[in-house]
Amino acid sequence: MIPAAFKYQGRFPSAALVVPSGFAHYGKDLERQQWFSTSGLTDENRMARIAAILPRIEQLVRREQTNHLVPRERTVLIGYSQGGTVALEAVKAFPELAGAVVAYSARFARLPQAPTRMDSRIHLIHGEYDSVVSRVYAERAQRALTGLHVPVTLDIIQDLGHALTHEAICRGSLRLLQGIYERRRATLH
């Protein structure tokens, strides 16, 4: 996520960026972090694993909002793969946590359904040939969010697999910027 952080810092120079590590180690590798264990991960247990860490995610985000004096509507959660999934589930569980999410190669553990309330803009960026998290999950998420009247964008990057490239990062930061200007335009009289 460091290349993404640099890109976002360039596009939003006054932003306070926080790039936290995951809460769990990759097996016995103490150098690498993940948000939740992928050992034995299935569609049946994915939501339970994410739900178990969501209170810690909320606490982390709210602490940083307080530390940097950033209100909810100006908070953006950005994540790649597992981090994007956690960001999506966090704003689903805590509707007033953030103003936007940019999720790269991510998916909901469980698609939101009515009467779920989500107050965040959602920007999904996915590789056309992602074999780890199929783009089908992003397409389903877009349809579900549109049905709930949640502002959502979906960009499928051609010839991209499960990777975070310069093009994908640029697209995500552009969508975020467009959402900010769209919201401002709506408040001008």
- Tens of pLDDT, residue by residue over 21-45, are 777 766 676 677 778 878 888 889 9
Domain locations along the chain: 2-14+73-187
- Active-site hit among 68, 162, 166, 189: 162
- Active-site hit among 81, 105, 120, 173: 81
Segment 82-119, tens digit of pLDDT: 999 999 999 999 999 999 999 999 999 999 998 888 99
- Cβ atoms 112, 132 nearer than 8 A: no
Tokens, residue 20: 């936290």
As a whole number of Å, the CA-based R_g of the chain is: 16
**In whole numbers, what is the pLDDT of the chain averaged over residues?**
89
Residue 188 has pLDDT above 80, yes or no: no
Task: Break the chain down into helix, strand, coil percent, rounded to 5.
Answer: 45, 15, 40
- Active-site hit among 120, 123, 126, 130: 130
Cα Dmax for the chain:
58
Q: Is 162 a catalytic residue?
A: yes
Alpha-carbon distance of 74 to 78, in angstroms, equals 13
CA distances from 179 to 36, 151, 160 (A): 30, 9, 24
Q: Is 149 a catalytic residue?
A: no
Segment 165-179, tens digit of pLDDT: 999 999 999 999 888
**Has this prediction a pTM greater than 0.85?**
yes
Q: 2-14+73-187 has which CATH code?
A: 3.40.50.1820
Q: Which residues contact 162 (CB under 8 A, 6 or more apart)?
A: 81, 105, 127, 130, 131, 132, 133
